[in-house]
Amino acid sequence: MIRGAAGIALGLLVLVSCAQRQDPATDMAPGAISLADGETVFRVGGCASCHTTPGETSEDAPHLGGGQELQTRYGTFRVPNISPDNEHGIGTWTEAQFARAMLRGVSPEGQHYYPAFPYTSYARMSARDVANLWAYLQSLPPVRREVQDHDLRFPYNNRGAMAVWKALYFHPTKVVDLGPLSPEVARGQYLVEGPGHCGECHTPRGGLGGLDHDRWLAGGMLPDGQGFAPDITGGEAGLGGLTVEEIASVLIPGPQHFSAAEAGYEMEAVRGNLAALPEADRRAIVAYLKAVPGAR
């Protein structure tokens, strides 16, 4: 009999692997698909910031050939091609396979994705937003660009071990229980914890790369280790002393009460993406951030 930590790890591996072979409850919500709404999800999700082919513009019709390299303590992650190219992108995927990738972190071949792809946040997205995003991606130009696989150090290059990692850290439920919420704060929570994946940078991580939810949005090192994403909770160390207008001014390009650089790291791409949101959504984001208590 396998005992101790090895037995627990094996049990988790079998348990999660079996669960991942099942199709998630990802039936797309009925109703007409909206490319405009899909583009909004694309923008708030920051897809172009990572997946745009280096050297090519992301304006109008983004070229999502991938290829950017993310240097981390685990090794080098290479951002994949997610254009609708049949050979190198996701052109042969089905909508269900795309939903499984977004909501479960599983590839069409059944492999577990590394959380450099923030499916741990995207898993909180609605079926409608996933369907609209899929339709929008399929409307973009295919890019014939092959991207090499990640180059990770041992033991992080063992993709099968991601099943155990998911059992420990993959919890696609609301991160913060704020009790009864106003519609505005509820919308902000959805955008921040889901497609906006703000916690992926602004929350500290443990040694295995899992987010420390006890210090949700309390600030953390950027994945490349070259900068720090500041505390954006409503606590005194975060945004507690700022007004809604001051915080909202940072979410869009243009004159503002304090710059992104003064906030502690470069977020120009984030600001550009959030500028595509309706003002009501940006204010909802701020309302949620103000409601999140400071780190315990």
pLDDT at 13 over 50: no
pLDDT of res. 245: 86
Tokens 């703000």 map to which residue?
Answer: 198
Using CB atoms within 10 Å of the CB of residue 61, give its burial: 0 to 12 exposed, 13 to 18 middle, 19+ buried. Answer: exposed
Q: How far apart are the C-alpha atoms of 229 and 202, rounded to whole Å?
A: 5
pLDDT at 263 over 60: no
Q: How far apart are the C-alpha atoms of 238 and 78, rounded to whole Å?
A: 32
- Which pLDDT tens digit goes with each residue over 35-81? 999 999 999 999 998 999 877 765 667 899 999 999 988 999 999 99
Chain center to CA of 294 = 22
Which residues, in sequence order, are bridge partners of residue 70? Answer: 77
My answer on whether omega of the bond before 115 falls inside 30° of 0, hence cis, is no
Which residues, in sequence order, are bridge partners of residue 112? Answer: 106
Query: Of all residues in the chain, what percent carry a pLDDT higher than 70?
Result: 83
Using CB atoms within 10 Å of the CB of residue 107, give its burial: 0 to 12 exposed, 13 to 18 middle, 19+ buried. Answer: middle
Residue ranges covered by each domain of the chain: 27-169, 183-291
The average pLDDT across 218-245 equals 86
Tokens at residue 12, please? 């988790």
pLDDT of res. 250: 82
Instruction: Name, in order, each residue with C-beta under 8 angstroms of 116's C-beta and a sequence gap of 6 or more.
Output: 70, 72, 77, 150, 223
Helices (H) and strands (E) in the chain, counts: 13, 5
- DSSP label of 179: S
Helix H, strand E, coil C: the string for 121-150 is HHCCCCHHHHHHHHHHHHCCCCCCCCCCCC
> Residue 12 — very low, low, confident or very high, per pLDDT cuts 50/70/90?
very low
State the pTM of this model: 0.86
pLDDT of res. 269: 80
Tokens at residue 41, please? 């999800």
Tokens 């910031």 map to which residue?
Answer: 49
Least confident of 112-116, 164-168, 261-265, 278-282: 261-265
Tokens 């160390």 map to which residue?
Answer: 237
Identity of the residue numbered 132 = N
pLDDT of res. 118: 95
Tokens 């998630």 map to which residue?
Answer: 24
pLDDT of res. 11: 40
